[in-house]
């Protein structure tokens, strides 16, 4: 059975016309008719009823349609896979920030390996500036970094992670869902500082108050900050990605602080302009949520 005959059958059904199917397939109308007739002889049944310029499926045609569509889809996927082999490198060098390395890459790489089974992957964890430099110098193929713009890079938004206040489960504030800055200023704070510009907005929350927040511990490590909150050392503003499991297990409770509404950390995927476009497209299509 010729796959081109299957294709003609599916296209005639989809467009409801031999002429339209021929136009889309860049064939003459007699060629499409010949392909349908050949398929009908192979199946020993009529697939279409002709009603002037319009056609409709016969009962046998309706029965055969889902199989024809599945055959065509499998063929097209196989064709894409074979054609893609020459475009995908044997090794993919990924650079990512610490948060991406800890919380996203472990979930993303199995999906990447399932899509590209022969692909060897090397992951480097570093700062945004270092990853940008290494992508520009072709030491890395793609990077997961804070939002950046550079004339030689394509930069695509991957996800945006809201910053919220988190408290341990039996904290006095755990029973509320929203608070204001003056309600939390006296709380012992573990202050996580990631260096992003948006983080300055969290600092500014307290500038309008008469006293600064009670920062007991200052750290640049999200895992440390999270564990200190779990150990009831204090409360902390954190990106949601690093506390998903703890919130799910009700070990940590998120509280919306009105003054930081809309503050979020954005992660982009970068690569050299015009390179690794298919890989970036796959990653974005399966973007982290």
- Which residues, listed in sequence order, are joined to residue 239 by a DSSP beta bridge? 163
pLDDT surpassing 60 at residue 85: no
Do 160-264 and 91-159+266-285 have the same topology in CATH? yes
pLDDT band at 289 (very low <50, low <70, confident <90, very high): very low
Averaged pLDDT for residues 2-28 = 87
pLDDT one-digit tens code per residue, 33-55: 999 999 999 999 999 988 776 78
Q: Distance (Å, rounded) from C-alpha 53 to C-alpha 74? A: 31
Other beta carbons within 10 angstroms of residue 248's beta carbon come to 9
Fold for 160-264, please state it.
Answer: D-Maltodextrin-Binding Protein; domain 2 (3.40.190)
Average pLDDT over residues 87-106: 87
CATH architecture of the domain 3-84 equals: Orthogonal Bundle (1.10)
Domain chopping of the chain, boundaries:
3-84, 91-159+266-285, 160-264
Q: Going by DSSP bridges, is the β-strand pair 252-257/153-168 parallel, antiparallel, or unpaired?
A: antiparallel
The runs of H, that is alpha helices, within the chain are 3-15, 18-24, 29-43, 59-84, 98-103, 105-115, 128-136, 181-184, 199-204, 222-230, 244-248, 277-285
Dihedral (Cα; 76, 81, 82, 85), 10-degree rounding: 160
**Is 143:94 a contact under the CB 8 Å cutoff?**
yes
pLDDT-derived band at 260 (thresholds 50, 70, 90) equals: confident
Share of the chain above pLDDT 70, in %: 92
CA distance 141 to 133: 11
The residue with greater pLDDT, 143 or 118, is 143
Predicted confidence (pLDDT) at residue 5 exceeds the cutoff of 70: yes
As given in the structure block, the two tokens for residue 158 are: 């991957």
Q: Note the Cα 201 to chain centre separation in Å.
A: 27
CA distance 140 to 89: 12
Q: What is the CATH number of domain 91-159+266-285?
A: 3.40.190.10
């Amino acid at each position: 059975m010729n796959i081109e005959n299957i294709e003609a059958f599916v296209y005639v059904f989809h467009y409801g016309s031999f002429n339209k199917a021929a136009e889309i397939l860049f064939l003459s109308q007699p060629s499409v008719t010949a392909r349908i007739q050949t398929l009908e002889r192979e199946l020993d049944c009529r697939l279409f009823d002709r009603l002037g310029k319009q056609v409709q499926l016969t009962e046998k045609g309706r029965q055969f349609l889902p199989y024809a569509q599945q055959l065509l889809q499998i063929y097209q996927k196989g064709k894409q896979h074979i054609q893609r082999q020459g475009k995908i490198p044997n090794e993919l060098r990924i650079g990512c920030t610490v948060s991406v390395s800890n919380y996203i890459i472990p979930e993303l790489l199995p999906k990447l390996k399932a899509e590209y089974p022969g692909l060897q992957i090397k992951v480097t964890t570093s700062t945004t500036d270092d990853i940008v430099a290494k992508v520009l110098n072709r030491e890395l193929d793609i990077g997961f970094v804070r939002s950046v713009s550079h004339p030689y890079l394509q930069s695509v938004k991957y996800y945006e992670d809201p910053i919220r206040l988190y408290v341990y489960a039996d904290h006095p504030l755990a029973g509320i869902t929203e608070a204001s800055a003056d309600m939390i200023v006296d709380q012992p704070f573990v202050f996580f500082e990631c260096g992003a510009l948006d983080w300055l907005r969290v600092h500014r929350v307290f500038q309008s108050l008469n006293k600064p927040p009670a920062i007991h511990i200052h750290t640049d490590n999200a895992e440390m900050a999270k564990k200190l909150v779990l150990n009831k050392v204090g409360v902390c503003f954190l990106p949601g990605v690093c506390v998903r499991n703890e919130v799910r297990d009700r070990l940590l409770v998120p509280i919306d602080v009105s003054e930081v509404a809309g503050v979020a950390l954005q992660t982009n995927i970068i690569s050299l302009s015009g390179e690794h476009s298919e890989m970036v497209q796959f990653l974005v299509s399966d973007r982290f949520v």
